[in-house]
Structure formats: C-alpha cells, structure tokens
Amino acid sequence: MKLSPSTWVGIIMLGLFVLVVVFGPLLAPFEVELHAADLTNQFQHPSGDHWLGTDSQGVDTFSQLLWGARSALQLSLVVVAISATIGIVLGTVAGWYRGVVDEILMRIVDILMAFPGILLNIAIVAVVAKPGFWVMVAALCANGWVGYARVARGQVLGLRERDYVAAAVALGASNRRVMFRHLIPNLMGPALVQITFGFGTVIIVEASLSFLGIGQQVDYSWGAMLDQARSFMFKRDTDWVTLYTLVPGLAIMWVVLGANLLGDGLRDRLDPRQRGRG
Amino acid sequence: MSIGSFLLRRLGSGVLAIVGVSILVFLFLHLVPGDPIDHLAGGEATPAQRKQIEKCMGLDKSLPAQFAAFLGHVVDGSLGHQCPDPKGKPTVSDRIAEVVPYTFTLAVAGMLVAVIFALPLGVLAAIRRGSWIDTLATTVSLSGITIPQMMFAPLILFVFFIGLGWSPGPTETGWSGIILPALAIGTHLMAMLSRMTRSSMVEVLGDDYVRTARAKGLPEGRVLFVHALRNALLPVITIVGLQFGSLLSGAIIVEKVFARPGLGTTLLDAITERNYPVVQGSVLVIAAIYVVVNIGVDLAYGLADPRIRRA
C-alpha cells in the first residue's frame, strides 16, 4: 500500500509514542508516586539530574512525562477498542435490519449527540465516589460508540444493495453470517479512519478530565500536569510555568497530530469518496 | 413540505431528545450510590436538618414521583428548589439564569473569532492553491486542531497578561476581558472551519456552474463570492452549528483557566456537591440550547440553499 509522506510522519510519531510507552517507565530516572515527593527539591529548573526540572512536590518532570504516556495510551486503547466494537456491531445491526431496531438506535444516537460529550463524561465520573480506571473507561465509552455506529450504519446502508450480499443471502447465509462475514469486513476501512481520529480524541478528553480534577487522580497524567502548571501561574517564576505547561502540552499535541496525520492518510487510501474533504 | 411542518417535526424530535437526556441523567443520578444529604448538610447536621433537606429535595418520595415533580418544575419554570435554600436565589432557574449570559457571550465571541479568521483564510487558500498562503492555512489549521485547550488557554493568558501586560487580568469583566477567553475557545473551531472552507471551496470552484459563470464574462469577484462561496458555505454552516455545542463544553476548561462563571462550571460544581435539582436543571438547559441551535442551523441551510427550501 502506497502512503503519502505525511501519513508516514503520522506513523512514525505514533510509533515513537508507543516506544516511549513500552520502554519509558523502565528508563524513567526517578519514581513518580506520591511517596517520591521531595519537598526540598520543588520547582527545579532543568539540570543534569532532572532533565526537565521538578514539579511542586519535587517529583522529576521527565519521569512524569514518561509515566503519563503510559497512562494515556492504556486508557485510550481500551476505550477505543470497546467503543469501536460496540459501535460497529450496533451500527451494522441497525443498518442491516432497518425498521424498529434502526429507529430506536438512531434515536439513542440523537439523544447522546444532543448533549456535549465531555459534560456527560464528567457527570458519569463525578458521581462515583472513587473513580478508578474502569469508571473512566465506562464514562468515555458511554458516548464514544456513537461515532462508530453512525459510520457503520451508513456503510451498511450502501453495502446491503451490493450483489455479493444478495448472493450470500440467496445462498442461504444467516443474518449473522452476512453481517460478520460480508458487511463488517467491508466497512472496516472507514471504521479504521474513525478509530484513528477517535484515538486522538480520547487522549484529549482524558487530559481534559484530569485537568478539571475529575477521574483517576494520578498526578503524572498529562492533564493533571497542565492543571498544576495553571495553578502556579501567578505564584512561580515564568520559566518554570512555561516549561511545565509546554512539556505535557506538547506531548498531547504530538500524539494528536500523529493520529490526525495518519487518519487523513488512511482516509485518502481507504475511503476514496471522502478524498479531499474536511 | 412547508417551513411550518418542517419546524414542527424538528421541534418534536428535539423535545424527544431533551426528555431522553433528562431521563438518562435522572436515572443515573439516582441509581449511583452516595447520599446527597451528607454533601449538602455537612457532617454535623442534626437529624431534623437532614430531614428538612430530604423533604426539600423530595428524596422521601418514590422515583417516578420525583421525576413527575421535576417535570412539574420544568412546566412552572422554576426547575426546582435549591436545597438548602440560599438567600436570594431560591430556585434552580435563578442560579442558572445568573450564569447563562457569561457562557453565551463566551460561546458567541468564540464563534466570531473562529468565523472571522477561518473564512478569509480558507477562501484565500482555495483560490491560491499551492501558494504560501495555502501552506500557512494548512499549518494554522493543523496546529489549531491538535493544540489542547488546557495548554493554549493558560499560555495566552500567561503571555499576554503576565508577560506582555497587553490584556486585562482574568477577573476583568468588561468587553476587553472577553478577548483572550474567546481566542482560547475559538481556535479549535477556527482550525476546523478554515480547513472545511478550503476543501469545500476547492470542490465548488471545479463545478460546471462556476465555469459557466466565468464563460459568460462575469467579473472574477462576483464568480468567487456570489456563485462559489455561497455554495461552498453549506457544509461550513453545518459544522458551525454542530460545533456551537462543543463551544459550550469547551467553555468549561476556558472558564476554569480564566476564572469565569458559566453553565459548565455550574454543572461541574453541582455534580460535586450532589445538588440534584441543579444538575437536572443545567442538563436540561444545555440540551435545550443544543436543540434550538440545531434547528437554527437547518433554517440557515434553507436560506443559503434554495434547493433545500423547495425540497
């Protein structure tokens, strides 16, 4: 498959991110848990020991960055996998059976779309007393599947008219076989594009939630780091605040940019009708 | 189909969506364990005070009765009572009405920033494809889409207020205080719109009627702005409408950074203090704004494209 240069840039950016996730915590020079707090070393500027300085607890910023990458990837992989599976299956079922099933599903989609996504996520996470990893997953999946369901349904509405689907039905294939053998494999292209963009979205939403102080309270998550920088904006020196804002912020941008470049490239390859749009 | 019956149908499905969201949030709040009275009354509440709050919130009634009471409060416009009753602002709609103007101003200002920058940039990039301005537009839109608000908002506040001293501080309430928050909230939308405008304009410029307009000797300005732009704007209007909602939710981060009151912040506070009536009320208001904006978008569509009006 021939890919455009910008698609390769996206692949390389995401590849580096995955490498950091896998090996980063092994290489992290310092511990990042709360017991590693070292109040004699607060707000350090970059030095030989602390490459990116330290935070308000005296914890090494570079180590936080590496561990934050892992927590961001873990959550987004699980969320995207679950919501894509739910969305693709529901969308396929709705598009294939039409009628009441379709009507009900599309109304649910309308309802979920009639409300700002992140506020719904906040509502779900915030009512649980001690939100852990799986509460975050549930909250992000609660409306995350909608986009995939729309893509899958739209594709199935077109695919169901194809000759090979008619042939499969004529040969006596069951509904299940038609959906899983003929429809879903053929809608995976556009779904994959959606998955790539969705990955970037989940990273941003997760960071937004931890920025707002909602969710698993991990100090080294990128959103929590940004929140820390914000809260010391008027209290600490310019260099420290700038650095501590840019480090997690640029990390988020790196991943989201990679996902967008790859998503654009895949869309041009896999979904030619969309070529040149958006 | 006439405009009237179209509106009626859209309103119907909109109301359905609002009721759906309300039921969802209602069930959700009441099914999740956790005692709201502990939060609202504080640790040292006497049993009598607890009883009072429980009665005020209607928690002593059954779930269906509570939902019916909520619907009643929607009809009478109060959206329910705040418990415990703070002085001066007894009803939920008072509390919401107080903050809605802030959120609305911010969202509209953000939208203006986005449209003012995005349209010229997108159109110029489409007309001068491959030129430096096209590259600029692509760079701007890619960075705007990827830059997280949690980084951009504090950075511009930091640079323009603390660093350069050009802008008023975050507590400034006048019109000049809205510039930075509007920039923070509008950048993402601006990026999306300029990208959308560019690709839509490129597509339209290749259409037959544009060639016809040029062939019959119309001035280039008229071809570009009357024939092409009007058609190219259709998908852009859709995005503008759909994204108005994301401005409302994006507002919550900008509100936090600039210490502004607003609908998102009110909802967030209400959730943490488990103030059910306020949560219910703000959810309802947000969903209603969404629905109204979307109907507005459909109408704007009709104005921009006579083909849709007739259909």
Chain B interface includes A110 (CB < 8 A) = yes
**Residue A38 domain-assigned (yes or no):** no
**Residue A28 domain-assigned (yes or no):** no
CB contact under 8 A, B162 and A234: yes
CB contact under 8 A, A116 and B253: no
Band the pLDDT of A106: cuts 50, 70, 90.
Answer: confident
**Given this model, what pLDDT does residue A275 score?**
47
Quote the ipTM score. 0.83
**Given this model, what pLDDT does residue B306 score?**
64
Window A:219-278, CB contacts with B under 8 Å = 223, 226-227, 229-230, 233-234, 238, 241-242, 245-246, 248-250, 252-253, 256-257, 260, 276-278
SS3 A60: strand
**Residue A159 domain-assigned (yes or no):** yes
- Contacts of residue B138, Cβ cutoff 8 Å, sequence gap at least 6: B125, B195
CB < 8 Å & 24+ apart, contacts of A172-178: A175/A96, A175/A97, A178/A96
**Residue A263 in contact with residue A197, Cβ under 8 Å?**
yes
Q: What is d(CA B283, CA B92) in angstroms, rounded to the nearest whole number?
A: 12
Q: What angle do CA B213, B215, B221 make, to 5 degrees?
A: 50
Considering Cα of B18, then A200, then A206, then A137, what sign does the dihedral take? positive
- Contacts of residue A96, Cβ cutoff 8 Å, sequence gap at least 6: A156, A160, A175, A178, A179, A183
**Given this model, what pLDDT does residue B172 score?**
58
Give tens-digit pLDDT for B49-103. Answer: 777 777 777 777 777 888 888 888 887 777 877 766 655 667 888 888 888 888 8
Query: By 3-state DSSP, what share of chain B in percent is helix, strand and coil, each rounded to 5?
Result: 80, 0, 20
Band the pLDDT of A277: cuts 50, 70, 90.
Answer: very low
**Residue A147 domain-assigned (yes or no):** yes
**Residue A113 in contact with residue A146, Cβ under 8 Å?**
yes
Task: Specify the higher pLDDT residue, A69 or A235.
Answer: A69
Give tens-digit pLDDT for A113-142. Answer: 767 778 788 877 776 767 788 888 988 998
**Given this model, what pLDDT does residue A257 score?**
93
CB < 8 Å & 24+ apart, contacts of B84-88: B84/B40, B84/B41, B84/B52, B84/B53, B84/B56, B85/B56
Chain B interface includes A94 (CB < 8 A) = no
Q: Which of A117, A245, A252 sits opposite B154 (nearest CB)?
A: A245
SS3 B263: helix
SS3 labels along A10-38: HHHHHHHHHHHHHHHHHHCCCCCCHHHCC
**Residue A8 domain-assigned (yes or no):** no
Q: Which of B34, B146, B154 sits opposite A256 (nearest CB)?
A: B146
Q: What is the mean pLDDT of residues A235-264?
A: 86
**Residue A66 in contact with residue A27, Cβ under 8 Å?**
yes
**Residue A46 domain-assigned (yes or no):** no
CATH number at residue A90: 1.10.3720.10
CB contact under 8 A, A111 and B21: yes
Give tens-digit pLDDT for A55-94. Answer: 777 778 888 888 889 888 999 999 999 999 999 999 999 9
Q: How many domains does chain A have?
A: 1
Structure tokens at A6: 């910008």
**Residue A41 domain-assigned (yes or no):** no
Query: What's the domain range around A141?
Result: 61-272
**Residue A208 domain-assigned (yes or no):** yes
Band the pLDDT of A276: cuts 50, 70, 90.
Answer: very low
**In chain A, what is the greatest distance between 2 CA atoms, to the nearest angstrom?**
76
For residue B103, give Cα distances in angstroms to A118, B98, B231, B247. Answer: 16, 10, 31, 9
Chain B interface includes A5 (CB < 8 A) = no
**Given this model, what pLDDT does residue A73 score?**
92
* Low pLDDT (below 70) residues in chain B: 1-2, 32-45, 83-89, 167-176, 249-250, 302, 304-311
Distance from CA of A172 to the nearest CA of B (A): 39
